[in-house]
Amino acid sequence: MRKNYLLTPGPTPLPPEVCEAMARPIIHHRTPQFQNILKEASEGLRYVYQTKNDVFILTSSGTGTMEAAVVNILSPGDTALTVQGGKFGERWTEICQSYGINAEVLDVEWGKAVEPKEIEKRLKAKPKIKAVFTTLCETSTGVVNDIEAIGQVVKNTDAVLVVDAISGLGAIDLQTDSWFCDVVVSGSQKGLMLPPGLGFISVSPKAWKLAESSKCPKYYFDLKEAKKAYDKTDTPFTPAITLIIALCEALRMLKEDGLENVFSRHKKMADATQAAVKALGLELFAPMAASDVVTAAKVPHGIDGEKLVKAMRDTYGVTIAGGQSELKGKVFRIAHMGFIEEFDIIVGISCLEKVLFQMGYKFQLGTGVRAAEEAFLK
Ligand SMILES: *Cc1c(COP(=O)(O)O)cnc(C)c1O
| CATH number of residue 304's parent domain | 3.90.1150.10
Report which protein residue has its CA nearest ligand 1's atom 15: 167
Q: Is 342 exposed, middle or buried (0-12, 13-18, 19+ CB in 10 A)?
A: middle
Are residues 231 and 104 both part of a single domain? yes
Pairing mode of beta strands 137-138, 183-187: unpaired
Query: Which atom of ligand 1 is the closest one to the Cα of 136?
Result: 13
Same domain, 206 and 270: no
Q: Given ligand 1 and candidates 110, 135, 137, 167, which is best to mutate, with the most ligand atoms within 8 Å of its CB?
A: 167
Residue-wise pLDDT tens digits, 186-207: 999 999 999 999 999 999 999 9
* Last residue within a domain, chosen from 256, 283, 308: 256
Closest ligand 1 atom to Cα of 167: 15
Residue 271 has pLDDT above 90, yes or no: yes
Residue 183's CATH number: 3.40.640.10
pLDDT in tens, 51-98: 999 999 999 999 999 999 999 999 999 999 999 999 999 999 999 999
> What pLDDT does 1 receive?
82
Distance CA 194, CA 85 (A): 27
Kindly state whether residues 208 and 121 are assigned to the same domain.
Answer: yes
Whether 104 shows a pLDDT value over 90: the answer reads: yes
Nearest alpha carbon, ligand 1 atom 12 = 166
Nearest to residue 100, comparing CAs of 201, 214, 254?
214
What's the pLDDT at 205?
98
Q: Are residues 153 and 163 in the same domain?
A: yes
- Please tell me whether residues 146 and 279 are part of one structural domain: no
**Residues 262 and 234 reside in one and the same domain:** no
| Span 153-177, pLDDT tens digits | 999 999 999 999 999 999 999 999 9
**CA of 31 relative to ligand 1 center, distance in Å:** 32
Mutate to test the pocket of ligand 1, among 12, 63, 136, 145 (most ligand atoms within 8 A of CB): 63
| Distance in Å, CA 234 to ligand 1 centroid | 26
Cα 88 to averaged position of ligand 1 atoms, centre (Å)? 7
Atom of ligand 1 lying closest to residue 139 CA: 15
Atom of ligand 1 nearest to the CA of 196: 7
The string of DSSP letters for 271-321 reads HHHHHHHHHTTPPBS-TTSB-SSEEEEEPPTT--HHHHHHHHHHHH-EE-E
Instruction: Please tell me the predicted confidence (pLDDT) of residue 40.
Output: 98
| Shortest-distance atom of ligand 1 to CA 64 | 9
272 and 129 together in one domain: no
- For the segment 138-156, the average pLDDT, to the nearest whole number, is 98
DSSP track, 51-98: -SSEEEEEES-HHHHHHHHHHHH--TT-EEEEEESSHHHHHHHHHHHH
> Which of the listed residues 141, 166, 183, 200 should we mutate to test ligand 1's pocket, taking the one with most ligand atoms within 8 A of CB?
166
Query: pLDDT per residue over 9-63, tens digit each?
Result: 999 999 999 999 999 999 999 999 999 999 999 999 999 999 999 999 999 999 9
Question: Can you tell me the distance from the alpha carbon of 185 to that of 54, in angstroms, rounded to the nearest whole number?
Answer: 12
Kindly give the distance from the C-alpha atom of residue 354 to the centroid of ligand 1, in angstroms, as a whole number: 30
* pLDDT tens-digit series, residues 331-366: 999 999 999 999 999 999 999 999 999 999 999 999
The pTM for the full model equals 0.98
Residue 19: count other Cβ atoms within 10 Å of its Cβ. Answer: 12
Q: Ligand 1: residues whose CB is within 6 Å?
A: 9-10, 61-63, 88, 135, 137, 139, 164, 166-167, 187, 196
Pair (237, 263) in one structural domain: no
Do 21 and 150 sit in the same domain of this protein? yes
Name the domain count of the chain: 2
- At 201 the pLDDT is 98
Select from 377, 378, 365 the least CA-distant residue to 281: 365
Instruction: State whether 211 and 292 are in the same domain.
Output: no
Task: Answer with the one of 241, 256, 271 that is the final residue of a domain.
Answer: 256
Same domain membership, residue 226 and residue 312: no
Which residues, other chains included, contact 172 with Cβ-Cβ below 8 Å and sequence gap of 6+?
A: 136, 137, 144, 191, 263, 266, 291, 292, 293
- Distance of alpha carbon 303 from alpha carbon 307, whole angstroms: 8
Residues 207 and 242 in one domain: yes
DSSP class of 26: P
- Between the CA of 189 and the centroid of ligand 1 the distance, in Å, is 9
Residue nearest to atom 6 of ligand 1 (CA): 62
For ligand 1, the distance from its centroid to the CA atom of residue 85, given in whole angstroms, is: 14
- Separation between Cα atoms, residue 282 and residue 44, nearest integer Å: 39
State the residue range of the domain holding 368. Answer: 5-10+258-377
Cis peptide bond prior to 32, omega within 30° of 0: no
Mutation choice for ligand 1 from 6, 67, 88, 200, CB with most ligand atoms inside 8 A: 88
Neighbour-count burial for 180-210, b at 16+ CB within 10 Å, e otherwise: bbbbbbbbbbbbbbbbebbbbbbbbebbbeb
pLDDT above 90 for 2? no
The per-residue pLDDT for 199 is 98
Last residue of a domain, one of 202, 225, 256: 256
Nearest residue CA, atom 2 of ligand 1? Answer: 166
Using alpha carbons, list the distances in angstroms from residue 15 to 20, 77, 83, 186, 341: 9, 45, 34, 19, 11
Residue 5 Rama label (left phi>0; alpha psi -120 to 50; beta): beta
> Ligand 1 center to residue 272 CA distance, Å?
25
